[in-house]
């Protein structure tokens, strides 16, 4: 992989089509689904895993010139990095790639959830949210949060050409959130919506527990829509 060029957003119509998007934890359902959607839209995509051979195998299955590497290599050589690891491995994974993510635009999409006999429920990290934990662990990265409310089932289904949903974007820097919105808008059917500063990420992450309950009751794969925009 070649070294990336810095990415800074200037407007809502920012062209980021040539920027490489790296996905840490890219072999899981959410990471794999995002890789498929972005790559099929023409975005250069690299997926990472603790086991590089697993990443290469998944990349080969996805096609679209997706490449597979270790998490560290993806972090080092991508322009934009999406974190899709399970909550249980969130802190440990970010500590491993901390130096590689210095100066990078990072999109945290992790939802801290617990499960018991009554269903899913939101967890509250000591830092306030998964995104704020990421910001604390990656002080030199440019942290944003997005992609929390997407169904991995829909993302990975090649029979679905367009996923009609809004994606909430959080972050403290306008240029960075504009970049994330522009990236989301490349996926057919999706619309990136700015939803506040990173300190508000807990509410967005916690909503996933409610969406899981909706899905179970109605046997659906729901998303969200923001009206009057």
**What domains are there in the chain, each with its CATH number?**
21-218 (3.40.50.720)
Q: What crossing angle do the helices spanning 130-137 and 201-218 adopt, rounded to 10°?
A: 140
Name 167's bridge partners: 192
Name 206's bridge partners: none
**Mean pLDDT across the stretch 106-118?**
98
pLDDT at position 3 is 47
pLDDT at position 14 is 59
pLDDT at position 4 is 46
Distance, first Cα to last Cα, the chain: 39
**pTM exceeds 0.85 for this model:** yes
Task: Report residue 24 as tokens.
Answer: 């840490």
**Mean pLDDT across the stretch 114-142?**
98
pLDDT tens for 179-199 read 999 999 999 999 999 999 999
CA distances from 101 to 78, 95, 108, 183, 191 (A): 9, 10, 12, 19, 26
| Cα gap 156→6, rounded to integer Å | 30
| Cα gap 55→50, rounded to integer Å | 8
pLDDT at position 183 is 98
pLDDT at position 15 is 78
Contact 156, 180 (CB under 8 A): no
Name 45's bridge partners: 21
pLDDT at position 10 is 38
| Cα gap 47→79, rounded to integer Å | 13
- Could you give the 3-state DSSP secondary structure of residue 16? coil
**Mean pLDDT across the stretch 193-208?**
98
- Could you give the 3-state DSSP secondary structure of residue 182? helix
From 187, 152, 153, select the one nearest 167 (Cα to Cα).
187
Chain length of the chain:
229
pLDDT at position 98 is 98
CB crowding 176-186: b at 16 or more within 10 Å, else e: bbbbbbbbbbb
């Amino acid at each position: 992989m070649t070294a990336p060029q810095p990415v800074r957003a200037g407007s809502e119509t920012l062209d980021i089509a040539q920027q490489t998007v790296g996905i840490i934890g890219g072999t899981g359902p959410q990471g794999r689904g995002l890789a498929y959607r972005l790559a099929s839209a023409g975005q250069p995509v690299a997926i990472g895993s603790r086991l590089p051979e697993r990443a290469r195998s998944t990349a080969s299955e996805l096609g679209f010139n997706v490449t597979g590497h270790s998490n560290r290599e993806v972090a080092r050589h991508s322009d934009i990095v999406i974190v899709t690891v399970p909550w249980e491995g969130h802190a440990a994974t970010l500590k491993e790639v901390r130096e590689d993510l210095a100066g990078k635009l990072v999109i945290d999409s992790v939802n801290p959830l617990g499960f018991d006999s009554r269903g899913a429920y939101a967890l509250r990290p000591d830092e306030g949210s998964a995104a704020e934990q990421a910001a604390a662990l990656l002080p030199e990265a440019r942290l944003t949060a997005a992609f929390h409310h997407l169904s991995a089932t829909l993302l990975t289904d090649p029979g679905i050409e367009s996923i009609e949903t809004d994606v909430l974007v959080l972050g403290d820097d306008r240029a960075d959130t504009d970049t994330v919105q522009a990236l989301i808008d490349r996926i057919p059917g999706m619309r990136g919506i700015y939803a506040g500063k990173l300190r508000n990420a807990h509410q967005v992450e916690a909503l996933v527990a409610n969406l899981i309950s909706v899905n179970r009751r109605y046997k659906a794969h729901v998303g969200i829509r923001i009206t009057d925009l």
